[in-house]
Each structure stands twice: as C-alpha cells, then as structure tokens.
Amino acid sequence: MAATFNASHVEYDGHAFNETLMHEFNYTIWDNGTLSNSSFCYLVFGRYEAYMLPNGSVINGTKCEAPVRPIHIRGSLGIAFGALYGLMIILALACLNKHGRMYLPAEKNFRLVSRRWPWYWMICAATCGIVSGMTSIDVDRNYLQGTALILQNIFYYVMLPAMLASIWEMTRHWGSMCERIMADEDPFRFHHDDRRAKIEFYTPLVFYLFGFLTFFLSVLRSWTSIPKAYANYAWAEKSSTDPRFRASSIFALLAFFVINFSVGVTWHYYPTVGRRIPPKIPICLCFIFVRIVYNIAVAWDYDIGPLKFDAPETYIYILGYLPVFGCMLAMVVGGWQQTNDDLMIKKLRRQRELDTDRDLGIRRGKELMQMPKTGV
C-alpha cells in the first residue's frame, strides 16, 4: 500500500500523489502497483509515471491492461495453434474445391451444398481457433487481464459448437451418400413418408437446437466479471462456473449423442454401404468427446480452464485446442483420400453397366465380333 510522503501526499515506489485529490475522485493505490477508481486504472510502479491534475484527470498514465510483460507459454502455444489452424483453413479450402464440384446434373434430394457444409463449419471453427490463439499473446503480456482474456475465451467457446456442426454435417452427408448410392441402384427402394425419412427430418433439428443452446449459453452472456480474478477471485470463479457454462457443456454432450445416433441410423437403414464407416468419423468423435469432457470439467473446476489467466497451459491446449485440431486433421486427410461424390456415382454406374453387359453376354459378343476372320 501507499506510504505517507508528507502532509498532503502519499508515495508508492517513488511516485507521489495528492491524497486529497485521490479521495475526491475515489482513487486508491493497490499493492499490485495500480492506481484506480471505478472507471480508470493506471500503473504506478517502476518506470510507469502517472500525474493527477486538479480536475481528477490523469496524464502520462499507462493503462492497467497495457501489454508490458513478455510472452510466456500460453502466448507461445497460442501462436503455434493459430498457425496450425491457419494451415487447416488452406487444406479445408482445397477439400471444398475438390468435393464441392458438380459432375452430374443436380438432384432434388441430394443438393450440392450438402457436401459443402462440413467444410464451411470447419473453416468457421478454424478461424475462431486462429483468433483465440493469437489473442492469448496479450493474455500473457497484459499486466492486468481485460479484453484479451475475454476475446480468447469467446472464440474458444465458439470453436466447440462450430466443430460439432462440422462433424455433424460430415456424418449426415455420409448417410445421405449411402442413401444416394442405394437409391441410384433402385430409385423405388425408399419412400419419402416412412419412418426413416421422418427420423432424418427431425434429427438435424434436434442437433442444431442443442448446438445453438451450447453457443447461446456459453458465448452470448456477460463477460465483464471473468477477467477480474486479480480483484475478486471468488467472484471470478463463481462467474466462470455458473449454471450457464454448466448447462452449455451438457448440451454439447447431448449434441454429441445426436451425432452418434445419426451414425446408428445410417448403419441400420443402409446396410449394404452403411456398414463401412469411414475412419474419419470415429476418429473425430473420439477427439471431440475429449473436448466436451474437458468443457464439462472446466464448468465445475475453475482452476483448470482457460477462463483463469494463469491456469495450467497443459490442460488448456492438450485438452482444449488439440482435440479440435485433431478433428480437422482427420477430416482433411479423409477428404483428401475420398473421391468426389459425383465421380463415385459415375464409377458405380459404369461398373453396373459392365456387370449387366457381362450377364447378358454382350461383352462376349463384342469380343467375338472383334476376332479376325480366317479363310478356308
């Protein structure tokens, strides 16, 4: 705390302030070397000078949120993951270009945008990852936490529903592709008013309801109390583990269950092709489950989450950022290996034509016609 300098001034770390002015404008000098009231906060230690004028205004002051510290582990890892997410955007655009092209006439039940949505959501999640990772630089550098910690966590929490939506669209499109392959073989195999069609109509509505609630409860909220742990730890802890964060984490888990249910629906109704689940689906589900479990843990334990500015970086990046990157990497590798849907349908049609020709002996007839004629 400040010590008495003379009859009218107090002193802190070699800086003198008029005590009457401080009381008049509600300023207090705190043990962490800051001069603040309910509206303003300035650094008053070491080389940071602040002069208070008779009207209460402060000149030559450095705000408490100023980036005056060096970058530590949190900021360094944030830069690394921001760069990795940037790479994922480039690869996602390449996959979008590959799988978003049309090689067959558009079909009413299998629209082109269906195969593009996974990449749209993935690009959204990666963009949030970049912003969140880069703002962690100022979380390390700021003397007292403020906007930087809020921004990092806002985009961090947006990543989860965006990545869940990307995985959902990937699994839903896989089911749609299974239906398309079987319907292409027999257009009258499926009815549009049966139980299967109703399940596939309502399941996306349920998923996006849970996804929206995950976003609404964790992001669209008041964030002002989150960075105030330096002033009131109990208040910051209570705000970071309030019912909104807890409910949001539970809704993310319910959305995860809906994705698994969708995989089961595809497995059940499209047995000839749906039993071969692409490896990227279970890989993504395992990665995102880790992130969801971590979100649930953070909603009850403030000390291990990103909302605490000095929380262990191991928890934040290995359990928070790395699983989302793992999902993106699995999707990109799978997208790179898989063929465009239209090209796959054309290949299957050609194979059926060859099989039909072989059954009818047409190929054998062509071979006999191409044999050279010999004279007697």
**Dist CA 113 CA 317 (whole Å):** 33
- pLDDT tens sequence for the chain (376 residues): 566 666 677 877 777 888 888 888 888 888 888 888 878 888 888 888 888 888 888 888 888 888 888 999 999 999 999 999 999 999 999 999 999 888 888 777 778 888 899 999 999 999 999 999 999 999 999 988 888 999 999 999 999 999 999 999 999 999 888 888 888 787 777 777 888 889 989 999 999 999 999 999 999 998 988 887 766 778 888 888 999 999 999 999 999 999 999 999 999 888 888 778 899 999 999 999 999 999 999 999 999 999 998 899 999 999 999 999 999 999 999 999 998 888 888 888 888 888 777 777 776 545 544 545 444 3
Pairing of β 28-29 and β 15-18:
unpaired
Please name the amino acid found at residue 239. S
- CA torsion through residues 180, 182, 186, 191, sign: negative
* pLDDT per residue as tens digits for the range 260-273: 999 999 998 888 88
Two tokens, residue 302: 């403030």
**What residues does 36 pair with on adjacent strands?**
28, 41
Q: What is the dihedral of CA 131, 162, 72, 299, to 10 degrees?
A: 130
Give the global pTM. Answer: 0.88
DSSP 8-state class, residue 373: P
**Dist CA 287 CA 324 (whole Å):** 7
Q: What is the pLDDT, as a whole number, of residue 6?
A: 65
How does DSSP assign 225-265, residue by residue? TTTGGGT-HHHHHHHHTSHHHHHHHHHHHHHHHHHHHHHHH
Identify which of 216, 225, 281 has the alpha carbon closest to the alpha carbon of residue 252: 216
- First-last CA distance in the chain: 120
**What residues does 110 pair with on adjacent strands?**
107
